[in-house]
Structure 1
């Protein structure tokens, strides 16, 4: 049996290798520093492995992302094109994403920022009504996480619809696709949630043109990638009132620089890329299953199409 490479950029990979060994003792899981024979590496489970290293493993059978996104893998120009790439498909991550988006949407809908400000008075408002019937949530990206978010929004009593690049049919959910569908979705969404993969086609998709289609006072939630957002356009949309607030979990530069203007903008809810955290125990179950599948000649769960980028 081959070596299972485990690499987490900027963190200690040892706990992940240990969890693999705990769940599947027969696996020879190692960090990058412990790989003495590159030809022995059979599966690479990685988060931001330095570019150029994948090509050094001649017998690699699978590149397994340690996240739902794979842009950090596909960005490697020397990645061996014949090796399949898989993203994580883990119910834990779906629940985590639902919790995060729900928190952002309810904070905006229930006007928590305004209510907190009243404490300085102190003021006790009367006649407050939160119109849930007017909340229409548009979800960009209808993969595993996007579908979970859309269904959760419906479960809260909100209207929900989704958009994807190509046509999709999902029971109980209005689905849009293509450029016309994107404009239609934006025009009907008081909340827009971005869960798209980052590709050449989706980079900068959250821009002034899209914001102008949305109803005044809307909310933007970006839990996709920082590259989806044109930052200057967001600030302009907030200043104009087109958007009332934005919840951002991802940024073009991470960590967000200390001098970045977003830090001082109270209309923007900032979180440090934690919307859908990865649980070592549950994610490792998914890794072990994909290792089993690859060794059995079966396609891995979460297999992506590199040409599409997801």
Structure 2
């Protein structure tokens, strides 16, 4: 069994190679581009892989992605039509995304930002008590990530709902589905959290039309993909007062270029794509188990439906 690790973004690829070797001692595990590259790989583990991956590794039996979003893989040149693409199923990301969401939700709903400014001015002044009914949370996406985020918000007694194309039910929260349910979902939402996969249907969903349908003084949190957001529409909604703030972890261009207007806007909080990192130990255990199952001819979960793009 031959496995190649290929990533153009991972800062320490050798650490992943070492972890995969420990988890799969029966396999030959190598780093893309090393002197042993010979086009004989059975499986590839990738994150932002090189564009000539399939030209140089024509014998792949499956491709494993170090994340849940596979939009970049679907755009790779020469992607074989029958090659199974396997997305990461959590890998420790969901709880981190819940933490990220709760931080920004609590900061706004409990006025912690205002308390920080009062401290800077030496002002002791309690603000109004929280009214949780005024802070309705709506999570776009009801998969593993979206469901965990929604349930974490609901556990703190924020009125919470999810929306998905299928209308998938998430225990403990209200569920909406399809185009018919989107307007009602947005109308009851003040804190909009995006946890959708990036597909042709969801690209640009965070736009002026969406923002116009939210409750007044809304907060937008994007933890999915930069391609979901129409940046000019966000700035316009902030300027018009339709939105109070935005927390953005992902961007169309990463790193976010110097001089981008988001950097200097106090209404926008920026983080460098860290809301949900793939934890190496969990991720490697999951991938190793699936590689062994495929090698035995067994079915596995997490295979991407290319028609749905997730």
Place the TM-score, normalised by the shorter chain, in its bin: over 0.9
Contact 2:71 2:198 in 1 (8 A): yes
**Corresponding residue for 2:156?**
156
Where in structure 2 are the equivalents of 1:61-210 lying within 5 Å? 61-210=61-210
Aligned length: 308
Q: 1:130 Cα shift? A: 1.4
Greater shift, 298-307 or 16-25, is seen at 298-307
In the TM superposition, residue 55 of structure 1 has moved relative to its aligned partner by 4.3
Taking the aligned partners of 1:55 and 1:106, their CA distance within structure 2 comes to: 48
Q: Deviations 1:139-173 (Å, cap 9, x if unpaired)?
A: 11111111111111111111111111123233333
**Which runs of 5 or more residues in structure 1 are unaligned?**
none
Q: Residue 38 of structure 2 aligns with which residue?
A: 37
What is the DSSP-based 3-state SS (H/G/I as helix, E as strand, rest coil) of the residue aligned with 2:209? helix
Q: Which residue of 1 aligns with 2:236?
A: 236
Aligned partners of 1:7, 1:116: CA distance in 2, in Å? Answer: 44
Moved more, 119-128 or 193-202: 119-128
Q: Does the 8 A contact of 1:47 with 1:72 survive in 2?
A: no
1-structure distance, mates of 2:47, 2:221: 24
The superposition leaves residues 26-65 of structure 1 with CA deviations (integer Å, 9 ceiling, x where unpaired) of 2211111134321x21111001112232244232111100
Contact 1:222 1:248 in 2 (8 A): yes
Deviations 1:168-221 (A, max 9, x none): 233333221222211111111111100111111111000001101111111100
Contact residue 249 and residue 274 of structure 2 kept, 8 A: yes
Q: TM-score, normalised by structure 1?
A: 0.95
| C-alpha distance in 2 between matches for 1:111 and 1:127 | 8
Structure 2 SS opposite 1:247: strand
Structure 2: any 5+ residue segments left out of the alignment? none
Return the alpha-carbon distance in structure 1 between the equivalents of residues 17 and 154 of structure 2: 39
- The equivalent residue for 2:21 is 21
- In structure 2, C-alpha distance between the alignment counterparts of 1:156 and 1:8, rounded to whole Å: 38
TM-score between both structures, scaled by the size of structure 2 = 0.95
Distance 2:127 2:18 in 1: 56
Q: Aligned with 2:92: secondary structure?
A: helix
